[in-house]
Structures are given as C-alpha cells and as structure tokens.
C-alpha cells in the first residue's frame, strides 16, 4: 500500500501541513505550547514536532477517547503521528486492530505482524510507503496507542543525516 492509502484518523493523515492539523483543533494555533513548538527555527534537517491534547479544544468530541497526539513533521508536513488513547482495555491487540481498521481498506488483524515477545499487545502493518503500529496495554487500556509513520519521509530524513555526516567528515 502506498501513502495515499494510509488511513485517515478523525480527519488526520500523513502528509498534512501543520496548519491543516491545527484547523482540526480550533484554538490550537493560539495555544502557547503548540505555538512555541512550531515557531522555532526547527532543526537543520527540516524536522519539528508538536503535541495536541484534544480535550483542550472545541473539537474534543470528535477525538473522544484520545488523550494526546504527537505529530512529527518533515518540511512542515506530518511524517508521523502517535495517538495515545484512554482505553478501553483489550484482551488482545487483535481486538484493537479490528476496531481501528473498521471502515478502512487495511487488512484484517491476521495480516499484521505480531511483535515478538509482545504477541498479545503489539502488531505492525508494514506497507510500501507507511507503517502502522498498534499497542494495547496498561490499566484500563491507558497505554493504548496507534503510531502511523511515513516511511518515505523517514528515508528522506535518514539520507539528509547521512549526507550531513559525510560532509562533516574530514
């Protein structure tokens, strides 16, 4: 599956510009912490990150059950999003995967790769251009998360760092 086929989660998707993300959380662009994270010069590789706590904004009902989302950007576009949930507790990660994939074109839980040693808690779906990791755990499911990563952006960043390292060498 390619980047265009990555799931859209409550309107959030990989490749969005930070302004598009903030528009989904009315008032977030005036939030001092968010503004501080996005207003700096960034790093020399074009990365930045910011945290959104949905309960602070008008759109909180749309993000019910989500306690925070960490966005990592590359060149101002979402390269990964880590979505932390408040639960529920799942007896097996497959139940969380089944809930997550409802209404998407993603494969069933048996098409995802279990994380060795954490087979009942974590699964990963690796696609051509993106990867999704789902974790189910914690008391009442308070550690549940979904991590969606743009593998093309990660390769771009890795290449930039390798080039910088090579150019810095005598």
pLDDT of residue 46: 93
What local confidence, expressed as pLDDT, does residue 42 receive?
A: 72
**In this predicted structure, what is the pLDDT of residue 111?**
96
CB contact at 8 A, 139 and 65: no
DSSP calls for 7-63: PPBTTB-TT-BHHHHHHTSTTGGG-HHHHHHHHS---TTSEEEEEE-GGGSGGGGGG
pLDDT at 96: 97
- Percentage of the chain with pLDDT > 90? 87
Low-confidence ranges of the chain (pLDDT < 70): none
The confidence score (pLDDT) of residue 101 equals 95
pTM of the model: 0.94
Distance CA 77, CA 74 (A): 5
- Backbone dihedral region for residue 135 (phi beyond 0: left; psi -120 to 50: alpha; all else: beta): beta
* Gap between the Cα atoms of 133 and 122, Å rounded: 7
Apex 166 CA angle, 163 and 170, nearest 5 = 150
| Closest to 147 measured CA to CA, from 5, 6, 1 | 6
Given this model, what pLDDT does residue 168 score? Answer: 84
Instruction: Determine contact, residues 35/90, Cβ cutoff 8 Å.
Output: no
pLDDT of 98 reads 97
What was the pLDDT predicted at 40? 74
| pLDDT at position 170 | 73
Q: What is the pLDDT of residue 6?
A: 93
Supply the pLDDT for residue 79: 98
Residue 27 to residue 158: CA distance in whole angstroms:
34
């Amino acid at each position: 599956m390619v980047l265009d086929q990555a799931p859209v989660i409550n309107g959030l998707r990989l490749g969005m510009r930070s302004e598009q993300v903030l528009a989904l959380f009315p008032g977030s662009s005036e939030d001092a912490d968010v503004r501080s994270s996005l207003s700096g010069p960034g790093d020399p590789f074009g990365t930045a990150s910011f945290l959104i706590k949905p309960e602070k904004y008008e759109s909180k009902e749309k993000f019910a059950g989500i306690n925070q989302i960490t966005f990592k950007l590359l060149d101002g576009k979402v390269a990964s999003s880590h979505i932390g949930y408040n639960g529920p507790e799942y007896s097996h990660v497959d139940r969380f995967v089944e809930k997550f994939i409802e209404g998407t074109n993603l494969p069933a839980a048996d098409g995802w790769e279990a994380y060795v040693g954490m087979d009942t808690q974590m699964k990963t779906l690796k696609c051509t251009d993106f990867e999704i990791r789902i974790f189910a755990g914690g008391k009442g499911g308070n550690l549940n998360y979904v991590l969606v990563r743009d593998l093309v952006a990660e390769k771009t960043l890795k290449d930039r760092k390798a080039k910088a390292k090579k150019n810095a060498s005598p």
